[in-house]
């Protein structure tokens, strides 16, 4: 389903921008049309470009936005489940490195997430002699 949404969004955005580009070219060249019939054809092309282009771009953009939102929610769920699993397995102690490795995120993302959770749950932290940070969540 995700692949279908990605392909659909790509197709809609491509064709939508194509129609809008055609309408834009007609707008720019409208005053250069010598006869009323050519001006009417240009006006029809502009209207058609906007009628087909704007909805396609809008719906394609909405699909991209919904895919990004879905990805963000999945990442949040994965981080949360990994966090609770590691806290339980390690009796409330967790390091940035172990969390980053298990959650498959960067060290900076792991540190930010753990800092937020530490504030939320009033956790403490220690720094070992090698410079590793360990968060202690009271269970």
Question: What pLDDT score was predicted for residue 94?
Answer: 92
Mean pLDDT by 10 residues, the chain (139 residues): 91 96 91 87 93 96 95 91 92 90 91 92 84 83
Question: What pLDDT score was predicted for residue 53?
Answer: 96
The answer to pTM > 0.85 is no
Query: Rounded to whole angstroms, how far apart are CA atoms 108 and 25?
Result: 46
Yes or no: say if 94 and 87 are a contact pair by the CB < 8 Å rule: yes
Closest CA to 111 of 123, 126, 100, 127: 100
């Amino acid at each position: 389903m995700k692949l279908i949404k990605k392909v659909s969004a790509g197709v809609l955005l491509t064709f939508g921008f194509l129609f809008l580009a055609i309408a834009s070219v007609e707008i720019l060249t409208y005053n250069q049309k010598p006869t009323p019939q050519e001006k009417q054809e240009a006006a029809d092309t502009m209207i058609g470009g906007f009628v087909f282009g704007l909805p396609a771009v809008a719906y394609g953009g909405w699909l991209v936005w919904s895919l990004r939102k879905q990805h963000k929610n999945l990442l949040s769920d994965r981080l949360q489940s990994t966090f609770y699993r590691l806290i339980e397995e390690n009796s409330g102690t967790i390091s940035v490195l172990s969390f980053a490795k298990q959650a498959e995120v960067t060290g900076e993302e792991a540190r930010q997430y753990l800092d937020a959770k530490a504030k939320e749950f009033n956790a403490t932290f220690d720094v070992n002699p090698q410079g590793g940070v360990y968060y202690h969540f009271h269970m």
